[in-house]
Chain A
Amino acid sequence: MLFILEDAINGILMGSIYGLTALGLTIIFGVLKVINFAHGSLLMVGMYVAYWTVTLTGIHPYLALVIVIPAMYLFGYYLQDIVIKPIFKAEKDVREPITVIIVTTGVWYILDNMTLLFFGPQYRSIDDNPLRGKMVEIGEIMISLPKLWGFAAAIITAGAIYYFFQSTRMGRAIRATSLDRDAASLSGINQYKIYNIAFGIGTAVAGIAGVTLVPFYNTFPTVGVLFDIKGFIIVVLGGLGSIPGAIIGGMIIGLIESVGPQFMAATWTEAIVYGLFLVVLFVKPSGLFGVKYDW
Chain B
Amino acid sequence: MTGKDAVREPLKSEVNRMDNIDDSEALRNRIRKVSLLLIAVVAFGLPLVMRSPTYLHIVILIYFYAYLTTSWNMVGGFAGVLPLGHAVFIGAGAYTSTVLFLQYGISPWIGMLIGGLIATLIGLLIGLPTFKMRGAYFALATIAFAEGVRVMVENIEFLGPFQLNGPRGLQIPPLDIGFANFMFANKEPYYYIILIMLILVIGLTWFISQSKLGYYLNAGGEEPEAAMALGVNVSRAKLIAMAMSSFLTALAGTFYAQFSMFIHPKSIISLDLSFEIAFIALIGGRGSIAGPILGALLLRPVSDFSRIYFGDVFPGLHLVIFGVVLILVMIYQPRGIQEPLTRIYDRIVDRLVEKYRKGVA
Which of A's residues lie within 8 Å of B, judged by CB?
Answer: 29, 33-35, 83, 86-87, 90-91, 96-99, 101-103, 105-110, 112-114, 116-117, 121, 221, 225, 229, 232-233, 236, 240, 265, 267-268, 270-271, 274-275, 277-278, 281-282, 285, 295
Contact = CB atoms under 8 A, between A and B. Distances in A.
Interface of B: 80-82, 129-130, 133-137, 139-141, 143-145, 147-148, 151-152, 154-155, 271, 275, 278-279, 282, 314-317, 319-320, 322-324, 326-327, 330-331, 334
Contacts of B139: 35, 98, 101
Contacts of B148: 271, 274-275, 277-278
Contact of A113 (B147, B278, B319): B319
A38 to B, nearest CB: 10
Q: Which 4 residue pairs spanning A and B have beta carbons closest together?
A: A274-B148, A113-B316, A96-B135, A110-B323
Nearest to B145: A278
Contacts of A29: 136
A109 B136 contact: no
Nearest to B130: A281
Given A101-B82, A117-B320, A267 B330 contact: no
B334 A91 contact: yes
Interface of B is mostly: helix
Contacts of A232: 140, 143-144
Given A232-B140, A274-B144, A274-B147, A99 B322 contact: no
B273 to A, nearest CB: 14
B320 A281 contact: no
B323 A113 contact: yes
B334 to A, nearest CB: 5
Contacts of A105: 275, 278-279, 323, 326
Contacts of A268: 155
Given A87-B330, A102-B330, 20 more contacts: A34-B136, A90-B334, A98-B81, A105-B278, A105-B279, A106-B324, A106-B327, A106-B330, A110-B323, A112-B316, A112-B319, A113-B323, A232-B140, A232-B143, A232-B144, A236-B137, A267-B155, A270-B151, A282-B129, A295-B133
Interface of A is mostly: helix
Contacts of B278: 102, 105
Given A106-B322, A113-B317, A233 B144 contact: yes
Contact of B315 (A98, A106, A117, A240): A117
A99 B275 CA distance: 13
Nearest to B152: A271
A91 B135 CA distance: 14
B282 A277 contact: no
Contacts of B152: 271
A29 B139 CA distance: 14
Contact of B129 (A33, A34, A275, A281): A281
Contacts of B320: 109-110, 113-114, 117
B151 A99 contact: no
A280 to B, nearest CB: 10
Contacts of B275: 105, 109
B140 A102 contact: no
A109 B135 contact: no
8 contacts: A98-B80, A98-B139, A105-B326, A110-B327, A116-B315, A121-B315, A274-B145, A277-B148
A95 B323 CA distance: 24
A282 B152 CA distance: 20
A96 B134 contact: yes
Contacts of B314: 117
A272 to B, nearest CB: 9
